[in-house]
Structure 1
Amino acid sequence: MRALADQAHVSERMLLYLEKGRSNPSLSTVEKLAQALGVQAGSLFGKRPVARQGPEVFIEAVVAQNLVAARKRLMLSQDALAQQSGVSRAVIAHIERQARNPSLHTLARLAAALDLSIETLLSK
């Protein structure tokens, strides 16, 4: 646990809370852990982790692209998505512009409203 915490630049306490389900990590924390483990961030929420391949991509850009694409596919405005997810329109706009580091809880609410898995929302 100490080695992972050091490599991911997070505290051991954060890892302990994550393992016990008592933490709501940010997108950047999820990405740090995925990088330290050598896997794609989205795959941490799938059946099995997938090794990182190719050039690094910014997880914020992946989430923004997937969020916009899913919202448009369902023909939802940011306001409509806000109503369905319970996430404010301003937060959605910030995520789509990559100007916010959302929590996993926020991403889960958006994914559910878009009928997506968190894995899909976080995967390129």
Structure 2
Amino acid sequence: MIRLVELGQVNVSLNTVDKLARALGVTTGSLVGSKPVARQEGDAPIEEVLARNLVSARKGLKLTQDTLGQRSGVSMFVIAHIERQARNPSLQTLARLAVALDLSLEALLSQ
């Protein structure tokens, strides 16, 4: 599975990426970024970080969930579930949201 992830041949969930990051002792955001950052004791759960960043970026651009959904091709219902921390999105879904928000995937997943 790890080999397929490294080759970009599988669309993994956020929880899977978070587990890999934890096993490597780095933050989830930095695992998909350019430079690994050591995980600190007491770091917020990745679902919370993602939800906070998604809401903040969306509101900063004055977008509704519906408008973000139209820009990204991600259902507004999926966006609402992510913002409520009730969904384990795939990296592909998160990448589409990051592009629509003009953010890197690393920024979307970092505290």
Scaled by the length of structure 1, the TM-score of the pair is 0.87
CA RMSD, 1 decimal:
0.7
Q: Which runs of 4+ in 1 moved over 2 A?
A: none
Separation (CA, whole Å) in 2 of partners of 1:58 and 1:46: 18
Bigger Rg over Cα: 1
Residue 56 (structure 2) pairs with residue 81 (structure 1): no
Q: Which runs of 5+ in 1 are unaligned?
A: 1-13
Separation (CA, whole Å) in 1 of partners of 2:70 and 2:43: 34
- Say which structure, 1 or 2, has more relative contact order (CA 8 Å, 6+ apart): 2
Partner of 2:38: helix, strand, or coil?
A: coil
TM-aligned CA deviation for residue 23 of structure 1:
0.7
Separation (CA, whole Å) in 2 of partners of 1:99 and 1:47: 28
Once the two structures are superposed, residues 4-49 of structure 1 have per-residue CA deviations (whole angstroms, 9 ceiling, x without a partner) of: xxxxxxxxxx112112211111000010000000000000122210
Q: For this pair of structures, how many residues does the alignment match?
A: 111
Greater Cα shift, 67-76 or 50-59: 50-59
Separation (CA, whole Å) in 2 of partners of 1:36 and 1:19: 15
The percent of aligned pairs where both chains have the same amino acid is 66
Greater Cα shift, 78-87 or 55-64: 55-64
Q: Which runs of 5+ in 2 are unaligned?
A: none
Residue 52 (structure 2) pairs with residue 54 (structure 1): no
Separation (CA, whole Å) in 2 of partners of 1:93 and 1:32: 24
Corresponding letter in the other structure for 1:109: R
TM-aligned CA deviation for residue 54 of structure 1:
3.0
